[in-house]
Amino acid sequence: MYLEDYLHKWAGLHPTKPAIICDGETVTYSRLWEQATQLSLQYKHEAPRAAVIRSTQSIGFLVTYFACHLAGRAIVPLENDCSERKFNDIQNEISACSITEQVADILYTTGTTGRQKGIMISHKAITADAENLISAMQFTEDLLFIVSGPLNHIGSLSKVWPTIMVGATLCITSGMKDMNAFIKTFRLPYPRIATFLVPSSIRMLLKFARKDLTALADRIDFIETGASPMPQVDMDELCQILPNTRLYNTYASTETGIICTHNYNSDYCVAGCLGKPMKHSAVFITPEGYVACRGETLMEGYVGDEALTASVLHDGTIITSDQGKIDGQGRLHLTGRSGDIINIGGYKVNPVEVEDAALTFPEVADCICTASPHPVLGTALKLYIVPKEGSILTIKTLSAYLTQKLEHYKVPQFYSITDHIERTFNGKLNRIFYQAKA
């Protein structure tokens, strides 16, 4: 069964049940099916086979999403504020390619590690991803799942899939700019409430809405995070605030799909631990130390680039750029990303380790560790720091603190105090931005 088969099923079994809640509007399963079916007639005979559209945090976008699939077309959702030039370039790229019928979605990466690439995801992979999440996180039909992130990225879009498959309810919000509106959704009258948040969004909640989170502790069933490493200090604090909430750290990417997850609010709260493979996935470490993934959730390939596809996907296996290890319990641990590792005098430094240490310093609100030219060493570490509001942060004190926490070669030699840290559209640290500044 495809995703839309489940939508049809619930429209028949529970026609009046809310399928999506957004901006005070509710659409039932029967109405959602009716709207998607009607709109699919408009998309049925259009060319090319893939429809490029701007995504929005709205019921209308999801109606279009399902309608494209029902019409036998793939959908290419782009961020709502993408430029006309970028939109047209991607549309031209899509038009020039032959896209097979099994492709359901084409998601463009954010480009943090290079140029943007269109990643083809099949209907089979969508179903497998959904079943992975349903099995691992216990999605059931009485759940309200809150989606605040952009629906053109797999982090949030992949939560639409299991929610619809089990006949639960989606609540779509427009990010977290209005913190009160976001918190208000957790008070909706549902027995089980869950959400997906990137680590930077969790940090915002801990900073600006700690009391609200504490008050909601008995209402939040689970919170999933992913997309980038979560600092140990944030993991510990969230476990303290939400002692009875399942807190999942998930390993996933657009290329691999949803692979592993770990409830770090159980008996093992360690940064970098991403748990065991899910129902339809397998993971192993290559002799070179890279994470390799197998299973039904893998991408079909990159749009219009067979050579690039062959460089990462062969024999049903994707070799990622992530470095990792598997512990004695079969849990995946990430130890770094090949493009992010910084070579300092022959020592290899994972900047995430430096950032995690700095974030435990009481006066540091946010930070990023980068490589910087050095007249003698060639390359040295530089730490950009956002001080906590109202704090008095001195570089000397911070450097002394890091000397106690890290090996000598991991302690930055350069520091820069700034008012914010650049991040990508979906909350990842924008390392390319700082590499360009070096």
DSSP bridge partners of 294: 282, 317
Q: In the prediction, which pLDDT does 203 show? A: 86
Kindly give the pairing relationship between strand 143-147 and strand 169-172: parallel
- Cα separation, 237 vs 155, in Å, equals 23
Phi, psi of 328 (to 5 degrees): -65, -15
Q: Which of 147, 131, 149 is nearest to 139 (CA)?
A: 131
Task: Write down the H helix ranges in 113-246.
Answer: 123-137, 154-166, 179-185, 199-208, 210-215, 232-241
Q: How many CB atoms lie within 10 A of CB 237?
A: 16
Q: Which of 219, 155, 161, 158 is nearest to 185 (CA)?
A: 219
DSSP bridge partners of 261: 250, 276
DSSP 318-357: EEEEEEEEE-TTS-EEEEEETTT-EEETTEEE-HHHHHHH
Q: Establish how many alpha carbons lie within 13 A of residue 10's alpha carbon, considering only the half-sphere containing its beta carbon.
A: 25
Query: Average pLDDT for residues 183-198, to the nearest whole number?
Result: 95
Q: In the prediction, which pLDDT does 247 show? A: 98
Query: Average pLDDT for residues 337-345, to the nearest whole number?
Result: 77
Structure tokens at 310: 């062959």
Q: What is the Cα 422 distance to its own chain's centre?
A: 17
Mean pLDDT of the chain: 92
Q: Which of 30-34, 56-60, 309-313, 420-424 has the lowest mean pLDDT?
A: 420-424
The rounded radius of gyration (Å) of the Cα atoms in the chain is 22
Q: Would you say residue 55 has pLDDT above 50?
A: yes
- Answer yes or no: are the C-beta atoms of 43 and 53 closer than 8 Å: no
Give the tens place of pLDDT for each residue, 92-132: 999 999 899 999 999 998 654 456 799 999 999 999 999 99
Q: Which of 290, 232, 328, 275 is nearest to 133 (CA)?
A: 275
- Answer yes or no: are the C-beta atoms of 382 and 371 closer than 8 Å: yes
Q: In the prediction, which pLDDT does 378 show? A: 78
Higher-scoring residue by pLDDT: 409, 296: 296
Q: Which of 82, 22, 31 is nearest to 55 (CA)?
A: 82
For each of the domains in the chain, give its residue range(s) and CATH number, in order of start: 3-335 (3.40.50.12780), 340-437 (3.30.300.30)
Task: Using alpha carbons, list the distances in angstroms from residue 97 to 50, 118, 240.
Answer: 10, 11, 50
Q: Please work out, in degrees rounded to the nearest 5, the angle formed at the alpha carbon of residue 140 by the alpha carbons of 138 and 144.
A: 105
Confidence of residue 204 (pLDDT cuts 50, 70, 90): confident
Q: What residues have CB less than 8 Å from 65, skipping those under 6 apart?
A: 75, 77, 151, 160
- pTM here is 0.85
Query: Average pLDDT for residues 186-198, to the nearest whole number?
Result: 95
- Cα separation, 371 vs 361, in Å, equals 21
Q: In the prediction, which pLDDT does 82 show? A: 83
Task: Using alpha carbons, list the distances in angstroms from residue 335 to 169, 258, 326, 434.
Answer: 36, 19, 10, 21
Burial bucket for residue 216 (CB in 10 Å: 0-12, 13-18, 19+): middle
Q: Would you say residue 228 has pLDDT above 80?
A: no
Q: Establish how many alpha carbons lie within 13 A of residue 4's alpha carbon, considering only the half-sphere containing its beta carbon.
A: 21
Confidence of residue 434 (pLDDT cuts 50, 70, 90): confident
- Answer yes or no: are the C-beta atoms of 3 and 69 closer than 8 Å: yes
